[in-house]
Amino acid sequence: MSEMTELQQAVTVGAAVFATILTRFLPYILFPAGKETPAFVRYLGSYLAPAVFGLLVIYCLRNVSFSSGGTFGIPETAALAVVTVTFLWKRSMLISMASGTILYMVLVQTVFS
């Protein structure tokens, strides 16, 4: 595989910079402060984040075997329970995801290794 020429590198960096600037400023251009946000965008703002997290849970648990294997899904179930309880308690996604991840890693590295 050959390396990129200087022109190709410059075009790549320029495209990345343009895309970054566009994604940062486009919402302010499309939805200025004095204009009401469209109902469709408000709908997406309400339902998209929970849908993404639901898909993330399904994706993370897709290969877990609860009926066979070495762990029977115990680390995953424990971490999911800690994430749920911590979120209901603190209402912080960051704290709940971090606590579940830490518990999962401790269980996998020490108890179920």
- Contact (CB, 8 A) for 64 and 79: no
Count of C-beta atoms within a 10 Å radius of residue 40 = 8
- 64 CA to centre of own chain: 19
pLDDT tens string 3-25: 999 999 999 999 999 999 999 99
Count of C-beta atoms within a 10 Å radius of residue 18 = 10
- Share above pLDDT 70 across residues of the chain, in percent, rounded to a whole number: 99
DSSP 32: -
